[in-house]
Each structure stands twice: as structure tokens, then as C-alpha cells.
Amino acid sequence: MKRIIASLAVCAAASAITATSAFAADQITGAGATFPYPVYSKWAQSYNKETGVQLNYQAIGSGGGIKQIKANTVDFGASDKPLTPKELSKAGLMQFPTVMGGIVPILNVKGIKPGELVLDGKTIANIYLGKIKHWNNKEIQALNPGVKLPDSRISVVHRADGSGTTFNFTYYLADVSPAWKKDVGVDASVQWPVGTGGKGNQGVSNYVSQLKNSIGYVEYAYALQNKLTYARMKNKDGKVVSPAMENFQAAAAGADWKHAKGFYLILANQPGAKSWPMTAATFILLHKDVKDPKATKAVLKFFDWAYKNGDQAAAKLDYVPFPASVKTLIRDAWKKDLKADGHSVYMGS
């Protein structure tokens, strides 16, 4: 099956370019995470219409985004795997979060409707470890009394590329399964015990939609847009929850961004009766020592605009926008960390 790499290029029409557009006809280039692609695409379309500025974003996976910003081949990198303060310092980078969202288990099992099946972290870990091989396994059946499940072998689908979605997915599995933590661990790319790899959230979506009796994991917007069957989950408090905005918000509610050095914070498996267990933030990466101030200013102008005007579009796609207090922290970090010739490139909005 052809692997699909999502990309967007919102072209600036001549009629949209005006003298008042600070960066009219300029192009912003970015690459990385597929998790936020739906919302970045929506923001880019609206921003282009308003300013005439084109955003060219290649959704190649978080690993690719980190590599490209380090290599200075893009204006910004994007990753769902936050870099630690030590990693940021070594690479001369700064990062900031844009939105939060949910990772969901998706499946293709005949007769099972969206939200009908319930899974928990331990069961998902055992499926991906190859310990649970059939859909009517007693562990799955115990979570779903009254649901008729087939005696069919489970086809496991995972990411083939370096992926921040995989990082957050494996972080969660390691948190709930000692066996997963010991045998596989946590990273953007791991040695999968079983399964087939798809490139990007879109690739995983495509495989699951075509493979009978399959299971995968994607960002929630991909499940909605592709009309995929998703599972509900039992969370840390033992409550069964659905992937929904209010439950992503519940998981994000306790996030202490003020004390997160370098905005390094992981939201998986948060407590709370409503918390969705696989919630994650997505991040933008920039060089602290700015070589091209015009390009970096254009990037900041775009995300500053998104923070002011993009919350409604993000919410419609079931991402969680950041509160004003966190956006202020992010703008303060831009002013403090991003400098050219010793001077801040961000002078406020």
C-alpha cells in the first residue's frame, strides 16, 4: 500500500497580498509532527486569507521535524515528543507548545461501532506485546461484557517513522505496564514486538481502515476525519471515558506549565474521573541563536496570530487550546530566548 505523507502548502493569491501585510508573499517553512497537521492546516488557510502569507508545512513525523530544524533546512520544526532541557541546550533550541489533544485507539472489527469497545492500558500493552492475539481474548471480553467479539487474530498497526505520537503512546504504556517498560520502553521509535508500520497518523489510519480485525493509534482528529472506529478507555481512576474535548481538557487541567523548564511536560495518564489517559501536547522548535531574523519573526507572527485567533478552529477539531496565562508564558519565552546579535527578535504583539 502506498504510504502517504501529509503536507500543506497554502498559496498566496495575488489579490490577497496587501501593502499592510507585514510579510506579504513570504513563505514560512516547517516540518515535523503529523499529530497537529489538521489544526495547522486550518490555521494556515485562515492566515493566508487574512495576510497573504503562505505556510508550507511537511507533516513527516516528529523525528523528521527535529532533524530538519537541527539541520537548518526549515524555519521551524514540530514535535509531539518534547525535548528535555538538556537536549534543547545541546542543540541550541527552544520549544513551546501550541495545542493539546488526544491519542485514541482505532480498530476495524466487523460489527463494532465507534465507542462501543472499551480498552485499558494494560490490555493495549499486551496486544502490542503480542501476548493478546485474538479479539475474543478473555482480557478484552472482561472489559466488554455483552459485546460479541470474533475469534479473529488481531492485526497490529503502529507508526513506522520517528513519531511524537509514538513517544506519548509508549510513555503511557510504560506507565501502566511494567512488561512494556522492561521489554520495549519509551521513545519516538521503538523495536515493535509485532505489527505493521504506517508512516504518519495518516498512514496508520489508512492501514487500519483497510486491514480487517486491526488496531492502531492516531490523533483524534484523524479518527474523526477518516470516520474510523475508536475505542473508549478506562482511565487512571478506573472510569470509562470517551475521547472528547472535555476529557482532554480534564487531563490537561493539572498541567503546571509555569514550572516546566523549557516547557518540558508530558500529560499521559493524568488522574481525574474524566481524564482521557492518552492526552498530549505538541511543540514547535526554533533556534535560540537566530540566523534569519525575518524568517523567525514570520514564524512567531503566525503562531502569535494563531494564539489570538485560532482557538475556535482548534476546538472544532477537538484540540485543547491553551489558556491566556500559558500563552503569556510562551510569549515571554520568545522575548527572552530568541535573539539575533544579542537582541530579542520578538518585540511583542
State pLDDT tens for residues 138-186: 999 999 999 999 999 999 999 999 899 999 999 999 999 999 999 999 9
Number of domains in the chain: 2
Average pLDDT of the chain to the nearest whole number: 91
pLDDT recorded at residue 16: 33
pLDDT recorded at residue 254: 85
Does the residue 349 lie in any domain? no
205: pLDDT strictly greater than 90? yes
14: pLDDT strictly greater than 60? no
Show the cell assigned to 155.
Answer: 492485526
Same domain, 107 and 246: yes
How does residue 26 score in pLDDT terms, banded at 50, 70 and 90?
A: confident
110: pLDDT strictly greater than 90? yes
Same domain, 116 and 247: yes
Same domain, 124 and 90: no
Show the cell assigned to 283.
Answer: 511543540
Residue 301, domain CATH: 3.40.190.10
**What's the domain range around 286?**
6-101+280-344
194: pLDDT strictly greater than 80? yes
Same domain, 87 and 189: no
The average pLDDT across 226-235 equals: 95
Does the residue 266 lie in any domain? no
Residue 59 · residue 7 · CB < 8 Å? yes
How does residue 195 score in pLDDT terms, banded at 50, 70 and 90?
A: very high
102: pLDDT strictly greater than 90? yes
Same domain, 116 and 67: no
pLDDT recorded at residue 9: 47
Does the residue 177 lie in any domain? yes
How does residue 221 score in pLDDT terms, banded at 50, 70 and 90?
A: confident
Residue 232 · residue 242 · CB < 8 Å? yes
Q: How far is CA 299 from the centre of its chain?
A: 19
Residue 202 · residue 222 · CB < 8 Å? yes
Closest listed residue to residue 349, CA positions, set 332, 336, 341 = 332
Same domain, 125 and 178: yes
Residue 58 · residue 5 · CB < 8 Å? yes
Strand partners, 219: 103
pTM for the model: 0.88
Nearest-Å Rg of the Cα atoms of the chain is 20
